[in-house]
Structure 1
């Protein structure tokens, strides 16, 4: 049985009104439209954003282009940019409660989780500031007495940053501070479902001293705002996080002008469990990996690939622990699983569950929508007897649904793990570290956790293989992703060989 936390009505709540940030000024959209966001956990309007259009995106791109070309940001010293980014980090920390609250009520994620994400975001901003001071090229004095080669790293230019609704502040923090540290200027489009915290970030960056036009924030839909940001000739790079389908469209749009593209897309991430694993640790990680952020997470551990000898025990124990997870009011500090982002998405998740049951999977726990008086919720769900060819085992459900598959040999487990289009992350559980390393080296994914799951650090690169994306975020090379390399080939003295006279 699921532990329910019924949402409390938002008493005397005042809807927050937002404008867009273009060229250092807060402004309404060109056509005056408004997007109203209703809280998925409480069913009431909580925010209103400007409904941006192509004209607004183009205004923002023009401002970013001008700000880059005038050099007020790109030609600062690394130390000067770093100091401003560090000040922004301090201001984010000071307003973290406000930012977490916005993410909570707009996305439906639990408030305790949102606060933890803000702590992680502050660390990323500080890490990016440090990398900005360490950005450097190379020199070659081995090319002969008359030649010196120098390779520079220069900011790539104007970057379009497009972020999703599931981690509104955390994901913009995995992109924007690194672009700023490199010296780029930016146009940011947050999801039209969860724009609030990104707009507050705009206030913070202006207060920190980021010059006008360096960061522009345009709200609106992907069709109206996002698409122009991916095709405009004055944009040099696109950094996108979202679904694989929209990632493919973004890549196709960017190809029209051969922009650099960084894509962090979908995942269908396995946890492979061997009979000698510490099952106490694993069971907790399985429940966390499946139901963190209500499963609306590209890194969700949505597939358990379990050795046949322990499959029944694992399903029983995971179901028992899932039954203790508190589901409901995102504003309750004890809640672990909050609301589903929209009624349409809830219906999509429920369809995956019903289709899997029709195909022969067994609903071992949950599977039902929950009527808590307001908002939209789904109980943590476990599907056992799942076969590798089922849609629920191959496609990204993006909800609190865990599929359990079985294997007999290590080769079987690796084959099942690698049999899908995604390759974002994976976990392996065994007391034999040879087993862990063998699986870790053979599974095609960007991150492999060994005897843990969904741990992270600003220092560790993040990104995927195959249709999980292109490029990496975080890590010491993250700033370099927002640069171009330029070779300076310098000749000293007279050139000895003249081609026209040889």
Structure 2
């Protein structure tokens, strides 16, 4: 049965009747046929969101919106196990990772329910002015209709990161999930329907990026665009938004550095290095894919890292004990393999770099580690988005910091050292929106997420995520009974 679009609280067939297939990356078999929206469908979704915004959702109290968010969280929690399995089949990640993601998505809705309630207390707060004849109050009002485009690496979690704060703020949403992983986003629509979320508040349009995504990004009645994905697509969205002077937030690519100093614990370092590059098959925008190791510890750490990487269990995500699943699609598999082949001319391949011999089907790839790529090579500078790690040695703190910052990206970075003063100094010197000390990749809903340079604009999560969907208004009142008199008394 065809998975339909969710527009204005109804399941609808796309105007042109198009569809595409969602593929299980572990088996290369079709999981589901999904409706492919075009510009006409996107327009209907935007109209529905505008109607819902104008006719009441924007005027609801934060406490009321919080109740809806809690209801969505409860509904998702009631089928948490099934959602995790669906995520594995659609995306490929190991089941424990998917379970973690679904739990985080549920927690995200609950967190923003709390902020929605707090928003009521923030409304109409007085602002002290130097002239007692005037009073001023500050209001926080929803931005309007939000267009939201999410990637395929964390399907339901990325939906939560965008939908939850938008609804908490009083905005309405048109969400476009990736065509590679649309199934759990559609389950969010099922949850919205089941709890009776008012029609048009959340609309989900599945479709191809160059059709549905482009139409959403360019729609003149969308007040804000929020996008997570590649730099080239982010640039197109930014360009389209410029024509309307539209509010945007962009979370784009990364090529994050992980600096390990001589005094770091080797076992702990290896564990966090592995987590930083092999979690989710390396398909993480913040993946710490550039490893900088101080010379004194480099031989021992590299040996231990290679041993651990070669023992990673690779296989379908639903198999017990699997630590590395397939890449998300045939196209992504080809892209990463192509980068590895080029990399062999730019650096020394230490391990991996090919499909595992025992897995002839599925988009599987061995954990891959290169040594000493040139700092101007594609291998070192470009985002690969796969389980590919590059290692370079350094001598001094200044050299490590220079190499880490020598990138067009600035999403994340990590530093590991027993010297906490040095760690703090390096963390302060890193040009990245997220810095981890003695760890890599821990992510909390309460903390801001976003990058510098070409890694994006704005921040998601925490209170910053809510502010993405709010406009600040001042209301200033003249309290005196006398006329202002600036002009009349000049006569």
Partner of 1:363: 349
Q: CA deviation at 1:221?
A: 0.7
Distance in structure 2 (CA, Å) of the matches to 1:217 and 1:300:
28
Partner of 1:494: 482
CA contact (8 A) 1:82 1:130 kept: yes
Partner of 1:4: none
Deviations along 1:74-95, one digit per CA (max 9) or x if unpaired, are: 1111111101101111111111
Distance in structure 1 (CA, Å) of the matches to 2:38 and 2:207:
7
Partner of 2:261: 274
The answer as to 2:44 corresponding to 1:59 is: yes
Partner of 1:408: 395
Distance in structure 1 (CA, Å) of the matches to 2:444 and 2:63:
23
Distance in structure 2 (CA, Å) of the matches to 1:496 and 1:27:
58
CA contact (8 A) 2:137 2:474 kept: yes
The answer as to 2:109 corresponding to 1:122 is: no
Distance in structure 1 (CA, Å) of the matches to 2:153 and 2:188:
17
Secondary structure of 1:459's aligned partner: coil
The answer as to 2:459 corresponding to 1:472 is: yes
The match for 2:313 among 304, 326, 347 is 326
Secondary structure of 1:103's aligned partner: helix
Q: What is the 5 A alignment of 1:35-114?
A: 35-71=20-56, 73-114=57-98
Partner of 1:233: 220
Distance in structure 1 (CA, Å) of the matches to 2:209 and 2:162:
18
Alignment RMSD, CA only?
1.2
CA contact (8 A) 1:159 1:186 kept: yes
Q: CA deviation at 1:147?
A: 0.5
The match for 1:347 among 329, 334, 356 is 334
Partner of 2:5: 20
Distance in structure 1 (CA, Å) of the matches to 2:2 and 2:77:
23
Partner of 1:388: 375
**Which stretch of the first structure deviates more once superposed, 492-501 or 94-103?**
492-501
The match for 1:299 among 264, 286, 300 is 286
Distance in structure 1 (CA, Å) of the matches to 2:341 and 2:176:
35
Q: CA deviation at 1:48?
A: 1.1
Q: CA deviation at 1:387?
A: 2.3
Deviations along 1:342-374, one digit per CA (max 9) or x if unpaired, are: 222212111211212112x11111111235132
Q: CA deviation at 1:487?
A: 1.1
Distance in structure 1 (CA, Å) of the matches to 2:141 and 2:312:
49
The answer as to 2:292 corresponding to 1:308 is: no
CA contact (8 A) 2:178 2:206 kept: yes
Partner of 1:184: 171
Distance in structure 2 (CA, Å) of the matches to 1:352 and 1:373:
21
Deviations along 1:373-429, one digit per CA (max 9) or x if unpaired, are: 321111000001222211111100000000001111111111101101101111100
User: TM-score scaled by structure 2?
Assistant: 0.97
Deviations along 1:62-107, one digit per CA (max 9) or x if unpaired, are: 1101111112x11111111101101111111111122212211111
User: TM-score scaled by structure 1?
Assistant: 0.95
CA contact (8 A) 1:315 1:364 kept: no
Distance in structure 2 (CA, Å) of the matches to 1:21 and 1:500:
59
**Which stretch of the first structure deviates more once superposed, 328-337 or 261-270?**
328-337
Distance in structure 2 (CA, Å) of the matches to 1:21 and 1:465:
35
CA contact (8 A) 1:294 1:400 kept: yes
Q: CA deviation at 1:157?
A: 0.2
Distance in structure 2 (CA, Å) of the matches to 1:422 and 1:496:
53
Q: CA deviation at 1:209?
A: 2.9
* 5+ long unaligned stretches in structure 1: 1-15
Distance in structure 1 (CA, Å) of the matches to 2:286 and 2:25:
22
* 5+ long unaligned stretches in structure 2: none
Q: CA deviation at 1:473?
A: 0.7
Secondary structure of 1:212's aligned partner: coil
Q: CA deviation at 1:300?
A: 0.9
Q: CA deviation at 1:498?
A: 3.1
Distance in structure 2 (CA, Å) of the matches to 1:499 and 1:474:
49
CA contact (8 A) 2:180 2:329 kept: no
Q: CA deviation at 1:208?
A: 2.2
CA contact (8 A) 1:302 1:401 kept: yes
CA contact (8 A) 1:339 1:377 kept: yes
Secondary structure of 1:256's aligned partner: helix
The total of aligned residue pairs comes to: 485
Distance in structure 2 (CA, Å) of the matches to 1:446 and 1:346:
29
